[in-house]
Amino acid sequence: MSSFDKIRTRIAPSPTGFLHLGTARTALYSWAYARHHGGEFVLRIEDTDVARSTQDSVDQIIEAMNWLGLHYDEGPIYQMQRLERYQAVLEQLIAAGRAYRCYATPEELTAMREAQKARGEKTLYDRRWRPEPGKVLPAPPEGVKPVIRFANPIDGDVSWDDLVKGPIKIKNREIDDLIIARADGVPTYNFAVVVDDWDMKISHVFRGDEHVNNTPWQINIFNALGAPLPRFGHLPIILGDDGLKLSKRRGAVSVMDYAANGYLPEAMLNYLARLGWSHGDDELFSAEQMVGWFDGTHLSKSPAQWDPAKLDWVNAHYVKQIDEARLAALVVEQLAGKGVAVSVEQVQPKVGLFKDRCATVAALAEWLVMYFAPVSPAAEDLAVHVTDAVRPAISTLAEKLSALTDWNKSSIQQALKETLTASGLKMPQLAVPVRVAVCGRAQTPSLDAVLELFDKKKVLERLQGL
Ligand code: GLU
């Protein structure tokens, strides 16, 4: 890294909504790359679209970054607080003849493009306001506020070695003199991003594929400013399971929606990491491991496919693995969302029996709610399983359970066995109706283990209420 003292990366979201999964993946790669090299990671807020940017979105983005554990070393830096700096750099470019004011009206530009189309040409700005040797420019029209355009090199190529896509080369002839400041003086994305990346000494820019067409302009602007060029890496898009770009219309795309639905941050990180990067065959790894491995190689060129089943598989792994007190606290939050108020102490002893069968904390809460709120067995389950043939056995079981002095798995098992012997029923004929009555569902883990975690009183009430 000759031009940079340190590896510095950034994530530069526009605060026009929540943190999107694609942006979260870019943030993760940027963060991991900086951490891998002992560098720094910056959060920049690209809020020049004033009409659509909100502080609420900034807060949501920061909340999601914190939830994922993507801690930044600097920021948030707001572009709208840097307008003076952009202004100064614009003036510098104008003075150097690398930018100029353009007074063309929207109508004139439309007419220009129509004429180009009619001639079968590519629609590019025709440089009518660009000062050039021997060219006489018209007098600036009254009452038209000019935009500022970058004087893009006319000849030659612009090229870079993309960290993801490899070498890319574009002819300058293919790109035109970009508007770098609007008539109201606010800089456009391609200009502000360059000034920022320059000022913030960003050595590596990871971003979505959709920006790859902007990079030639940005490189030319860097060069015009005499600023060192960062390395660029354009990450392929993420496709939904229907093969189309992942979007709100096709399921949850907000990181915090996944938090709300019972996904764990380490699972999201792990899953996002694999969407476009690999380390051998490793599928399950920690953020620390990723940091150790993430050196900017093994980035995939092809679009990644969002796979909810795989995310569930990864999440299930972490649900099993994390500390049960933390898991219980997350269940408490999920239950609170269902209007069921309980404490971690109440929940924690119960998570162990169910966590292995749950992909998410929400699914775990779905199981545990039976311990804390009334159950409502489906009428169909009652009709099918709680038949007159088994009612006497259920009463017998209730009596035997009621008589137990020690309420534990083996005493409950004993009561079940004695009831089977007395009634001549087989275990499923008794166990299923008991499950329906007590748990509100026909299938559960081992019945003695499930019942042990209930208050005896509650079990008896539910059996007697049949
Ligand atoms: N604000 C841009 C975006 O959210 C940032 C692009 C970049 O990283 O340069 O897409």
Mean pLDDT, range 11-30, rounded to an integer: 95
Sorted by sequence, the CB contacts under 8 Å of residue 384 that are 6+ apart come out as none
Ligand 1, from 57, 79, 189: best to mutate by most atoms within 8 Å of Cβ?
Answer: 189
Beta bridge partners, 149, equal: 100, 179
Residue whose Cα lies nearest atom 4 of ligand 1: it is 13
**Residue 216 CA, ligand 1 centroid: distance in Å:** 15
Ligand 1, from 8, 14, 164, 213: best to mutate by most atoms within 8 Å of Cβ?
Answer: 14
Asked whether residue 154 falls in the same domain as residue 23, the answer is no
Residue whose Cα lies nearest atom 3 of ligand 1: it is 13
- Give the integer Cα–Cα distance in Å for 213 and 257: 31
- Tens-place pLDDT, residues 378-414: 999 999 999 999 999 999 999 999 999 999 999 999 9
Distance spanning both ends of the chain, measured CA to CA: 75
Q: Encoding tokens for residue 385?
A: 């399983």
Determine whether 109 is exposed, middle or buried from the number of CB atoms within 10 Å of its CB (0-12, 13-18, 19+): middle
**Which of the listed residues 181, 212, 228 is the one where a domain comes to its end?**
181
Measured from the Cα of 210, ligand 1's closest atom is 10
- Give the integer Cα–Cα distance in Å for 360 and 315: 6
Nearest-Å Rg of the Cα atoms of the chain is: 31
Confidence of residue 377 (pLDDT cuts 50, 70, 90): very high
Measured from the Cα of 205, ligand 1's closest atom is 8
**Residue 23 CA, ligand 1 centroid: distance in Å:** 9
**pLDDT attached to residue 243:** 82
Asked whether residue 30 falls in the same domain as residue 61, the answer is yes
Measured from the Cα of 13, ligand 1's closest atom is 4
Asked whether residue 412 falls in the same domain as residue 342, the answer is no
Measured from the Cα of 10, ligand 1's closest atom is 8
In the predicted model, is pLDDT for residue 249 greater than 70? no
Measured from the Cα of 211, ligand 1's closest atom is 6
**Which of the listed residues 322, 345, 371 is the one where a domain comes to its end?**
371
Looking up residue 109, the CATH number of its domain turns out to be: 3.90.800.10
Asked whether residue 367 falls in the same domain as residue 383, the answer is no
Looking up residue 396, the CATH number of its domain turns out to be: 1.10.10.350
Confidence of residue 244 (pLDDT cuts 50, 70, 90): confident
Ligand 1, from 193, 214, 231: best to mutate by most atoms within 8 Å of Cβ?
Answer: 193
CB 33 within 8 A of CB 206: yes
In the predicted model, is pLDDT for residue 29 greater than 70? yes
**Residue 205 CA, ligand 1 centroid: distance in Å:** 10
- Tens-place pLDDT, residues 158-172: 999 999 999 999 999
Measured from the Cα of 11, ligand 1's closest atom is 8
- Tens-place pLDDT, residues 311-352: 999 999 999 999 999 999 999 999 999 999 999 999 999 999
- Give the integer Cα–Cα distance in Å for 218 and 1: 20
Residue whose Cα lies nearest atom 5 of ligand 1: it is 12
- Give the integer Cα–Cα distance in Å for 364 and 351: 8
- For 259, the domain range is 255-371
Asked whether residue 98 falls in the same domain as residue 148, the answer is yes
Ligand 1, from 211, 219, 253: best to mutate by most atoms within 8 Å of Cβ?
Answer: 211
Looking up residue 208, the CATH number of its domain turns out to be: 3.40.50.620
Is residue 244, in this structure, part of any structural domain at all? Answer: no
Is residue 245, in this structure, part of any structural domain at all? Answer: no
Asked whether residue 309 falls in the same domain as residue 389, the answer is no
Is residue 243, in this structure, part of any structural domain at all? Answer: no
Is residue 317, in this structure, part of any structural domain at all? Answer: yes
Q: Ligand 1 pocket: which residues have CB below 6 Å?
A: 12-14, 46, 193, 207, 211
Number of folded domains in the chain?
Answer: 4
Is residue 247, in this structure, part of any structural domain at all? Answer: no
Closest by CA position to 211, among listed 186, 224, 230: 230
> Higher pLDDT residue, 1 or 117?
117
**pLDDT attached to residue 250:** 62
Asked whether residue 199 falls in the same domain as residue 69, the answer is yes
**Which of the listed residues 314, 340, 371 is the one where a domain comes to its end?**
371
Asked whether residue 99 falls in the same domain as residue 172, the answer is yes
Asked whether residue 61 falls in the same domain as residue 199, the answer is yes
Closest by CA position to 31, among listed 272, 212, 279, 310: 272
439: three-class secondary structure by DSSP: helix
Catalytically annotated residues: 248
**Residue 13 CA, ligand 1 centroid: distance in Å:** 6
Asked whether residue 394 falls in the same domain as residue 417, the answer is yes
**Residue 203 CA, ligand 1 centroid: distance in Å:** 16
CB 125 within 8 A of CB 106: no
**Residue 116 CA, ligand 1 centroid: distance in Å:** 31
Residue whose Cα lies nearest atom 10 of ligand 1: it is 13
Q: Encoding tokens for residue 222?
A: 């860097």
**Residue 206 CA, ligand 1 centroid: distance in Å:** 9
Determine whether 382 is exposed, middle or buried from the number of CB atoms within 10 Å of its CB (0-12, 13-18, 19+): middle
In the predicted model, is pLDDT for residue 1 greater than 60? no
**pLDDT attached to residue 240:** 87
Q: Encoding tokens for residue 401?
A: 């359970």
**Residue 46 CA, ligand 1 centroid: distance in Å:** 7
Is residue 215, in this structure, part of any structural domain at all? Answer: yes
Is residue 38, in this structure, part of any structural domain at all? Answer: yes
Asked whether residue 113 falls in the same domain as residue 214, the answer is no
Half-sphere exposure of residue 360: CA atoms within 13 angstroms, side-chain side: 17
**Residue 62 CA, ligand 1 centroid: distance in Å:** 16
- Tens-place pLDDT, residues 438-459: 999 999 999 999 999 999 999 9
- Tens-place pLDDT, residues 179-233: 999 999 999 999 999 999 999 999 999 999 999 999 999 999 999 999 999 999 9
Measured from the Cα of 12, ligand 1's closest atom is 5
Asked whether residue 324 falls in the same domain as residue 307, the answer is yes
Is residue 364, in this structure, part of any structural domain at all? Answer: yes
